Amino acid sequence: MGMIDFEDELKKISAAGLLRRLRSISSGSGPKIVIDGKTLLMLASNDYLGLCADTRVKQATARAVQKWGGGTGAARLISGNLDLFAELEKRLADFKQTEDALVFSTGYMANAGLLSALAGKGDIIFSDALNHASIIDGCRLSRAETGIYPHKDLNRLETLLTQSRACTNRYIVTDAVFSMDGDIAPLPALLSLAEKYDAVIILDDAHGTGAIGKTGKGTLEHFGMKSSPRIIIMGTLGKALGSFGAFAAGTASLKPFLVNRARSFIFTTALPPAVPAAALAALDRIEQDPGLVRKLKENAALMREGLCRLGFDIMETETQIIPVMIGRPEHALHMAKELFARGLFIQAIRPPTVPENASRLRITVMAAHEKKDLAEALDILGSVGKKLGII
């Protein structure tokens, strides 16, 4: 029929153990969810602080809908730029201790817009091999040369930097907390390299924002670093902030530059009012209640230590994202199915999200998890892991 044969393609994907299916969840986001009438412990959400369903976040969201309605009616440069956006951008800049910030509709769009606005022909982007797909796509969209360095390999990165003197602009782009591995990019060393070779860092703090650092401000706070004109921070609102959307934060002139040049900002409808309102309320909650971030860290440590004790390979994670390495995709899928039957909702992560033979379970903990539920989850993980010969 002059186009790809869907059935045929799906058979190939399935034969490789890589078929993905959507699961319908009939409850809202929270530490326990309901699927097909069955209650499960949620260990696969990025709603790390439990703010999606936080009472005050819900109230603020409902008030915003009452006041401003369901949508915004146009792109921000046309007529959709509600006051709320400036308010949120100021709060995000304060939170990240940068001069200003610009909200994007999604993290995917923020990375695509940032990279393609900042880099072009004649420039080079150095990108960690384990960066998020939205970074990979942003690099492609930019038309700049891309130099991929092995995960966190600073020697290789430096070699590539020394070879890039002919390029006009040099960028280093990295996940701050790696989304499938849970380890943290070596930001202080990356900044030294950026200074030495006159490069700029684009830091994707999707999983750090609201989750790491003493007060949840993210990866710079984690390392005790101040913001720098050499670091452009991207963060998302849909993970620990429990809302939706994303932002880029940096110097005062970054914002108007992106407003003029980032196509994924310009050519899309402004977010509905409920979204910035929820994010603002979430920032209030994080700032008012330091116990949220503390509880997330305690739960993450409990889970990491428990899994290690059981003998699972959890790689180099230091955060609330805890991979359990399995290897073959069908084995990871099998284990996820067994865990599901025992009441745990955990996703198997397979290629192309992770490299070949690096299929795994990706466990994420939330501040809202009860310690006894995590202890029970560890018991189940241990018994299923033994049964399947993983430990």
Ligand X SMILES: *Cc1c(COP(=O)(O)O)cnc(C)c1O
> Whole-number minimum distance, CB 388 to ligand X, in Å?
28
Task: Return the structure tokens found at 341.
Answer: 């039957």
CB nearer to ligand X: give 48 or 312. Answer: 48
CB 251 within 8 A of CB 97: no
- Start-to-end Cα distance in the chain: 49
Quick check: helix, strand or coil at residue 285?
helix
CB of 198 to ligand X, least distance (A): 26
If binding is defined by CB under 6 A, does position 179 make contact with ligand X? yes
> Contact region for ligand X (CB under 6 A) — 140-148, 202-210, 216-224, 326-334?
202-210
Six-digit token pair at 378?
């560890």
Question: Which of 45, 179, 243, 359 is flagged as catalytic?
Answer: 179
Which phi and psi angles does 249 have, rounded to 5°?
Answer: -130, 140
In the bound state with ligand X, the residue whose beta carbon lies nearer, of 139 and 206, is 206
Size of interface with ligand X, in residues (CB under 6 A): 14
User: Judged by CB under 6 A, which of 134, 142, 264, 359 binds ligand X?
Assistant: 134
Structure tokens at 60: 């603020």
Find the catalytic residue in 217, 239, 255, 295: 239
Report if residue 204 touches ligand X, rule: CB under 6 A. Answer: yes
Please identify which residue in 175, 183, 221, 373 interacts with ligand X, judged by CB under 6 A.
175
Asked if residue 271 binds ligand X (CB under 6 A), the reply is no
- Which position among 207, 217, 222, 297 bears the catalytic label? 207
323 near ligand X, judged by CB under 6 A: no
Closest by alpha carbon to 275, among 80, 97, 144, 39?
80
Question: Hey, what are 370's tokens?
Answer: 């009860």
CB distance 350 to 329 below 8 Å: yes
Site for ligand X in 148-167 (CB under 6 A): none
Distance in Å, CB of 379 to ligand X, minimum:
29
Contact residue for ligand X among 76, 207, 217, 362 (CB under 6 A): 207
- Under the binding rule (CB under 6 A), the answer on residue 132 touching ligand X is yes
> Is 362 a residue that touches ligand X (CB under 6 A)?
no
Q: Which is nearer to ligand X, 132 or 255 (CB)?
A: 132
CB 15 to ligand X: min, Å = 29
Judge whether 238 and 107 are in contact, CB under 8 Å. yes
219 exposure class (CB count in 10 Å sphere: 0-12, 13-18, 19+): buried
Relative orientation angle of helices 154-162 and 187-196, to the nearest 10 degrees: 10
Give the CB-nearest residue to ligand X.
Answer: 107
155 by Cβ neighbours in 10 Å (0-12 / 13-18 / 19+) ranks as exposed
The smaller minimum CB distance to ligand X, of residues 108 and 126, is found at 108
In the list 206, 280, 358, 374, the residue contacting ligand X (rule: CB under 6 A) is: 206
* Residue 80 interacts with ligand X (CB under 6 A): yes or no: no
Residues numbered 29 to 58 that lie near ligand X (CB under 6 A) are: none
Which candidate, 204, 168, 174, places its Cα nearest to that of 186?
174
Rank residues 236 and 359 by Cβ distance to ligand X and give the closer one: 236
Cα–Cα distance between 193 and 284 in angstroms, integer? 36
Which residues from 84-123 bind ligand X, rule CB under 6 A? 106-108, 111
Q: Is 127 a catalytic residue?
A: no
Which CB sits closer to ligand X, 177 or 281? 177
Give the C-alpha separation, 194 to 196, whole Å: 6
Query: Is 209 an interacting residue with respect to ligand X (CB under 6 A)?
Result: no
Helix ranges restricted to H, the chain:
6-15, 55-68, 83-96, 107-118, 133-142, 154-162, 187-196, 219-222, 254-261, 263-266, 274-288, 291-310, 329-341, 371-387
Whole-angstrom distance, CA of residue 92 vs CA of residue 86: 10
Distance CA 136, CA 13 (A): 22
Give the nearer residue to ligand X in terms of CB position, either 271 or 381. Answer: 271
Residue 16's Cα: distance from chain center in Å? 27
Minimum distance, C-beta of residue 178 to ligand X, in the bound complex (Å): 8
Using CB under 6 A as the binding rule, whether residue 246 contacts ligand X is answered as yes
142: annotated active-site residue: no
239 is catalytic: yes
Active-site residues, by number, are: 179, 207, 239
Residues that bind ligand X (CB under 6 A): 106-108, 111, 132, 134, 175, 179, 204, 206-207, 236, 238, 246
